[in-house]
Homo-oligomer: A and B are copies of this chain.
Amino acid sequence: MTDPFVIAGVELPSRLILGTGGAPSLHVIGATLTASGAAMCTVAMRRVDAATDGSILDVIDRHAVRILPNTAGCRTAREAVQTAQVAREALETDWVKLEVVADERTLLPDPIELLDAAQTLVAQGFHVLPYTNDDPVLARRLQQAGCVAVMPLGSPIGTGLGIGNPHNIELIVSEATVPVILDAGIGTASDAALAMELGCDAVLLASAVTRAQDPVAMAEAMALAVRAGRLARNAGRIPKRFHAQASSPTEGMALL
> Which A residues form the contact surface with B (CB < 8 A)?
1, 19, 21-22, 44-47, 49, 70, 72-74, 78-79, 82-83, 86, 102-112, 115, 133-138, 140-141, 155-161, 164-165, 167-168, 170-171, 187-194, 197, 206-208, 210-215, 217-218, 220-225, 227-232, 234-254, 256
Cα distance, A123 to B125, chains bound together (Å): 37
- A187 and B137 in contact, given A21-B249, A228-B224, A242-B159 (Cβ under 8 angstroms): no
Cα distance, A21 to B191, chains bound together (Å): 29
CB distance from A160 to the nearest CB of B (A): 4
CB distance from A46 to the nearest CB of B (A): 3
- A112 and B141 in contact, given A106-B171, A157-B246, A188-B237 (Cβ under 8 angstroms): yes
Report yes or no: B224 in contact with A137, Cβ–Cβ below 8 A: no
Cα distance, A253 to B76, chains bound together (Å): 14
Report yes or no: B133 in contact with A135, Cβ–Cβ below 8 A: yes
- A218 and B190 in contact, given A79-B256, A135-B108 (Cβ under 8 angstroms): no
